[in-house]
Structure 1
């Protein structure tokens, strides 16, 4: 850039006041050398560089040189750098006086100055201003490219964050599924093994029945675990199960498995039942399954009751037991049953509450919303219906 500015100044010195071309005088070399020598400082001190190159341009007329746009090339270059590195108002505050000073002294030192030379001086004054316009455009373009790069970087970070979040959510989903699939069967198997061990000495004839139930339960647990792990190993487009997801229609069979393990459980229902979306239906099934599993684990010897209440916009599920759930059985550490139930219920916009009852036992209450198409249409005057199945 220093060499280019020096050559441009020398080319500007070729034109003399009598409109002839001749070799540049010595003062042209001096002016070009001084004006170009300060240009390397235009990045660190752009304002000082503009002032210095402007002073060099003002010395052209006193040195007897014809002031031309090429002769003030260092001033135009420094004006470009100032516009690139400073704001618009600051650049204008420096460049407008600089452009005026470049030509202010010329009429006093050019002996044959006439109004015909006004166009030439206007071109000289406009040179740094035009350079500043290009510098401002370059500044805006750099800012735009930087903003685009920043948005791309943030978008990439957002994609990575979303990918990590999806991985965490998938791990939680897998953990819930494995817990719901296996914990139920293992808990039943443990209860059946305890019954078999208890009956081995007192009622040997019933021991085989308990052992048969234990074998059936463990085999079902292994099948469900094998199916779940098999689905996880398949590609996303192939990981589809041929069996329908469990729902409230499978609750009677679920209760039967608990009864065979020794839990006295009943179910009742009020209101008009309606079809549930698959996710809500699965959630309702898993809540009942996990609540009864907790009864078997932590309140052995008690009875349990499941009640479903259907209203216009929701279905309420309550599972109560008569045992003392505040004193878990020995060897039954606290697990993640309630945590998993709450996550499932929240995922379908439902609510869950659980706690000890004042009269004893434990209560799990869940409210699941019904879609508009599944709102019961039974008249309010008909009143709720109650049915109980054992």
Structure 2
């Protein structure tokens, strides 16, 4: 209800000022009539001064501080014209309250202190005497209460606004974080699909070329090449099925049919390239032992993509894979003797994917031509997550 009234007040400030002026008069008239009657003073003068002091409130929304000054002057006029009447600075209270609501704390308290000081001095000047001292000092309490109430209301409004902004910002951040996770998951699945499809399709293409070449001269070897095409395509389908299964989330708890590939599957991977016509060597150094699953998967995919690029684009006849297991990192180096005249330039997605895989595992990757010819891919993957 309060928030609705504030919204209405902001939409119709002129009407709100009129209502505030009428409320001030409604409160001030009974007080002025009562005090004038009790002290046998002229009611017309008292009412005229009250009306004069309330009229500036009609423009309080536009000029809050000048309106406060005008009400103080009107109150001083009341002290001068009717010094014997015990009057309450009701219009000053309304004006100072609005100053505190619409300005900052420092401005509102400066205005309030200045108004209180002027009213106190005027009261002591026009209404001297010990018997009027409590009445004069009471002005300090009225003005201080008006400023304190307005400042409290403004502070509460600012606090609620900050809570609302914080909640909205948290909601936006939550949506952005969710979108970021969705994007990262899409990129990860796209990277898996790229590695699986590029590798197996490259091997199928190479093996199909071998079978076509040997079909008439050596049917037996051509038949073996067709068997390898069958095995490679079956492996591709299995890996694609496992990867696409990630999109469904496996809500029923079903486990993937094939385990996540790792360095234990490296000999079979190298054999598939050898059958496709690429001579691949493997050198391993360092202690043998079980490595983190993320490190093994990343190493396997980097080697797979590097050899796929070698066979597809580099026109190489031989490649060498070196693995060095250190105390803190696994070092991978894949080199070839290619001349860059293979099956044509690629899209670059494979190279981007290798860099992304290395970064996702907390490692680094560099790739580029070798000084003596060929190409080199070098990656370092940490064996422990970086904390």
Report the TM-score when normalising by structure 1: 0.86
Residue number in structure 2 paired with 1:221: 236
Residue number in structure 2 paired with 1:36: 54
Between structures 1 and 2, the one with greater helix share: 2
Task: Spell out the pairing of 1:213-362 with structure 2 (5 A cutoff).
Answer: 213-234=228-249, 238=253, 240-300=255-315, 302-324=317-339, 326-330=340-344, 333-362=346-375
Residue number in structure 2 paired with 1:85: 102
Counterpart CA distance in 2 for 1:281 and 1:274 is 11
Counterpart CA distance in 2 for 1:166 and 1:107 is 72
Alpha-carbon distance change, 232 to 23 in structure 1, aligned in 2, over 3 angstroms:
farther
Alpha-carbon distance change, 108 to 69 in structure 1, aligned in 2, over 3 angstroms:
closer
Residue number in structure 2 paired with 1:129: 144
The structure with higher relative contact order (CA 8 Å, sep 6+) is 1
1:23-70 deviations in whole A, cap 9, x for unaligned? 971123222222222113222211111111112211223333644454
RMSD: 2.5
Counterpart CA distance in 2 for 1:108 and 1:222 is 100
Residue number in structure 2 paired with 1:378: none
Deviation at 1:165, TM superposition (A): 1.4
Residue number in structure 2 paired with 1:163: 178
Check the 8 A contact 1:54/1:102 in 2, yes or no. Answer: yes
Residue number in structure 2 paired with 1:203: 218
Counterpart CA distance in 2 for 1:235 and 1:310 is 34
Q: Does 1:95 align with 2:95?
A: no
Check the 8 A contact 1:15/1:66 in 2, yes or no. Answer: no
Deviation at 1:242, TM superposition (A): 4.9
Q: Does 1:192 align with 2:207?
A: yes
Check the 8 A contact 1:316/1:368 in 2, yes or no. Answer: yes
Q: Which runs of 5+ in 1 are unaligned?
A: 373-390
Alpha-carbon distance change, 240 to 306 in structure 1, aligned in 2, over 3 angstroms:
same
Q: Which runs of 5+ in 2 are unaligned?
A: 1-19
Counterpart CA distance in 1 for 2:231 and 2:91 is 94
Residue number in structure 2 paired with 1:26: 44
Alpha-carbon distance change, 35 to 195 in structure 1, aligned in 2, over 3 angstroms:
same
Residue number in structure 2 paired with 1:13: 32
Deviation at 1:108, TM superposition (A): 5.5
Moved over 6 A (4+): 21-24
